[in-house]
Amino acid sequence: MSESGPRVIMAFDFGLKNIGIAIGQEITRTASTFYSLKATEGKPKWAELDRIIIDWKPGLFVVGDPFNMDGTRSKIQDLSDRFSDSLNKRYDIELKKLDERLTSREAKERLESLPIGTKDSSNKHSISAQIILEDWFRSNI
């Protein structure tokens, strides 16, 4: 927890067409899927994200870092890094990155258990963001 008390934590799963968002907080160390922002080539609709940030007042961002399975940099990592830099500059909120290998696979497995009609790419990104945040909580006990 931060020195000023428990924080709302917002996690992001970066994608070129959708950016998943999950919300959690430090008291219960739980994460919930929240939303998926439409994006154009990895650029979100900033005004929409501005409203979400104003409403939730997060104290920390956690952004998935999309390494290849062998630990090398992925092709999408440069765009993800630009997104992280833009988040940090725009909102001046502490930002941590977390290796997100295997989150897409786990998100796909979780999606398979959902009702028909909820299995689109935007839901996969919001579930991936939830997994990123759950992983962050586990690694920051």
| pTM, to two decimals | 0.85
CA-closest candidate to residue 100, choices 130, 58, 59, 61: 130
Which 3-state string (H, E, C) describes 5-70? ECCEEEEEECCCCEEEEEEEECCCCEEEEEEEEEEECCEECHHHHHHHHHHHCCCEEEEEECCCCC
Would you call 119 helix, strand, or coil by DSSP? Answer: coil
Is residue 104 predicted with pLDDT exceeding 80? no
In this structure, the number of other CB atoms found within 10 A of the CB of residue 125 comes to: 29
pLDDT digits (tens, 9 = 90+) for 30-85: 888 788 899 999 999 999 999 999 999 999 999 999 888 888 888 889 999 999 99
CB proximity list for 92: less than 8 A, separation 6 or greater: none
Q: Which of 18-32, 67-81, 91-105, 113-127 has the weakest average pLDDT?
A: 113-127
Q: What is residue 24's predicted lDDT score, i.e. its pLDDT? A: 94
- DSSP 8-state secondary structure symbol assigned to residue 141: -
How far is Cα 25 from Cα 58, in angstroms, rounded to an integer?
9
Q: How far does Cα 14 stand from its chain's mean position?
A: 7
